[in-house]
Amino acid sequence: MSSGISILVIDDNKIRASIIEEGLRDAGHDEVIVVHQMDGLLRQIADIDPDVIVIDLENPNRDQLEHMFQVSRAAQRPIAMFVDRADSHSIEAAVEAGVSAYVVDGLKRERVKPILDMAVSRFRAFSRLSKELEDARTELADRKTIDRAKGILMKSKGLSEQEAYDLLRRTAMNQSRKIIDVAQSLVIASGLLGD
């Protein structure tokens, strides 16, 4: 049974990497790639283009953790990170960097799959929330632009707010454009004309 997802395991310790790899293969994941070389990690991730990343750091120092957190921010994929020890600062930094699962002293073959599943689920939930937030920000910015355009029309043509909106809507329909595009054009033109 193949899971259909590709998993990149990053670990400079070959024995520990094999534990993770075996746990993943036992769980039905056929496409497991193991990387032991930490240099040029972002390039390697881009070349491999995995669906999920598992990082194992035995006793990471601050520099190693910071490097992995930079990788995590740039990778934009579900990431499960296994470490032998951690402090509250490291855990907080991992969450800020987008690590989906930060597991302390939990590297056992049978635990790899549930941890990976949780990392993927958390990543998807976080991605969905991030998209919703971005959509809300865009919608708010669009509303502000449309309100500015209505204000310009109300002032320059002596229209009511509803008449200004109707004019924007009719113009958009006549030009096969979105109202926001017409509003942005009007705001820009008004700015160029110094109104």
Could you tell me how far CA 129 lies from the centroid of its own chain? 10
The architecture that CATH gives domain 133-193 is: Orthogonal Bundle (1.10)
- How far apart (Å, rounded) are the C-alpha atoms in residues 177 and 71? 40
Q: Where are the domains of the chain?
A: 6-107, 133-193
Instruction: Output DSSP code: residue 84.
Output: S
Model's pTM, two decimal places? Answer: 0.59
What's the residue count for the chain? 195
Instruction: Output DSSP code: residue 52.
Output: E
- How far apart (Å, rounded) are the C-alpha atoms in residues 16 and 24? 13
Residue 2 has pLDDT above 50, yes or no: no
Residue-wise pLDDT tens digits, 32-86: 889 887 778 788 888 888 888 888 776 666 677 677 777 777 777 888 877 777 7
Tell me which residue of 151, 177, 178, 185 sits closest to 165, measured CA to CA.
Answer: 151
Overall CATH class of domain 6-107: alpha beta
Quick one: the chain helix, strand, coil %, rounded to 5? 65, 15, 25
